[in-house]
């Protein structure tokens, strides 16, 4: 299956979360989970913390896209809580590329809204969900930054490598 623009943005966002954020539970490093790992995208290298990561290339907002509803519904029916949620918001401003990474430790069922894709969509009639009313649930800001050079994570790595090489001279 061909990767979509949204999937690419999500993959980059997950890497940015791992780069900029430590585990909110024990402050050790986060790591990526394998692609298509059910429900979770990152986990802690030192404790049992796991979270789903969502990337939005916009200012913080109260409704964001979730994922497939079927697996989410199975997790809830098995008696587990909704996964913790880490949301990376990225947007351009006059000052540069801004990032805000928020951690929502508990997302209640009332903050999940089911919907079904149309019968003409690539995944016709697939059941999905939205995270809604995020402004009404507690969250912590794990990271805020502004890059005046508007560098992506890949460009930042290249810049850091050049800076290290300069300092070694």
Mean pLDDT of the chain: 87
Domain CATH number, residue 20: 3.40.210.30
List CB contacts of 165: < 8 A, sequence separation 6 or more. Answer: none
List CB contacts of 24: < 8 A, sequence separation 6 or more. Answer: 49, 103, 105, 140, 142
pLDDT in tens, 14-56: 999 999 999 999 999 999 999 888 889 999 999 999 999 999 9
Residue 112 contacts residue 128 (beta carbons within 8 Å): no
pLDDT in tens, 67-90: 999 999 998 899 988 999 999 999
- Calculate the CA 2 to chain-centre distance: 21
The CA-atom distances, in angstroms, between 8 and each of 35, 46, 57, 139 are 12, 28, 12, 26
List CB contacts of 68: < 8 A, sequence separation 6 or more. Answer: 126, 127, 128, 129
pTM reported for the whole predicted model: 0.84
Domain region containing 93:
5-167
- Domain count within the chain: 1
């Amino acid at each position: 299956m061909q990767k979509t623009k949204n999937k690419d943005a999500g993959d980059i966002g997950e890497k940015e979360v791992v780069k900029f954020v430590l585990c909110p539970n024990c402050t050790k490093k986060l790591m990526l989970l394998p692609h298509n790992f059910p429900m979770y995208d990152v986990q802690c290298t030192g404790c049992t913390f796991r979270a789903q990561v969502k990337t939005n290339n916009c200012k913080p907002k109260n409704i964001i896209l979730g994922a497939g509803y079927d697996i989410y519904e199975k997790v809830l029916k098995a008696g587990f809580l909704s996964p913790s949620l880490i949301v990376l918001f990225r947007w351009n401003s006059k000052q540069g590329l801004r990032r805000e990474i928020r951690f929502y430790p508990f997302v209640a069922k009332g903050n999940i809204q089911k919907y079904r894709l149309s019968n003409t969509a690539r995944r016709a009639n697939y059941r999905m969900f939205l995270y809604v009313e995020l402004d009404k649930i507690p969250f912590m800001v794990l990271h805020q930054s502004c890059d005046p050079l508007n560098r992506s994570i890949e460009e930042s790595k290249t810049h850091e490598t050049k800076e290290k090489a300069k300092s070694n001279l």
